[in-house]
Amino acid sequence: MGPGKLDSVDLEKHTALATELGKQIASHGWILLTGGRSLGVMDAAMKGAKSGGGTTIGILPGPDTSEISDAVDIPIVTGLGSARDNINALSSNVLVAVGMGPGTAAEVALALKAKKPVVLLGTQPEAEKFFTSLDAGLVHVAADVAGAITAVKQLLA
């Protein structure tokens, strides 16, 4: 999960992290689920996963596929707008957030509320402090993609 808007702080950094994360997720045979749109971190992660031969699921907010990333294998059209954040959070075994924006923060909060583990990657110290204060046992902060993958492996074991 991560910012979809192009006004995200450090967008270039976040999309590079997301692309590499997607590749690594694919290399482990895991399925990648994102918001499925053709912008920002979600698009970069999907493209990374596809370039690594992975399978991708896109949980789309609109009533059709007009905003879909070309890297989505399985589109789920919801017509729910931001309410689809619940689907994203509850359908993930581990939620990895790359960067932070309002939608990403909502997804992280929903995952924590559902007692789902969260890995924060490329997030601001303020976000890390806030989410860790909510449930330190479920929040893992990764310094890089390798650290995020290690955390996911441990959480899935």
Residue 27 makes CB contacts below 8 A (sequence gap 6+) with 52, 54
| Owner of token pair 């890297």 | 71
Integer Cα distance of 124 and 113 in angstroms: 21
Domain 11-156 falls under CATH 3.90.550.10:
no
In the chain, domain spans: 11-156
Binned at pLDDT 50, 70 and 90, residue 49 comes out as very high
For the chain, give the number of residues: 157
For 6-35, what is each residue's pLDDT tens digit?
555 588 899 999 999 999 999 999 999 999
Residues 115-155: pLDDT tens digits? 999 999 999 999 999 999 999 999 999 999 999 999 999 99
Distance CA 143, CA 109 (A): 21
Angle at 42 between CA 41 and CA 43, to 5 degrees: 90
| Dist CA 138 CA 91 (whole Å) | 16
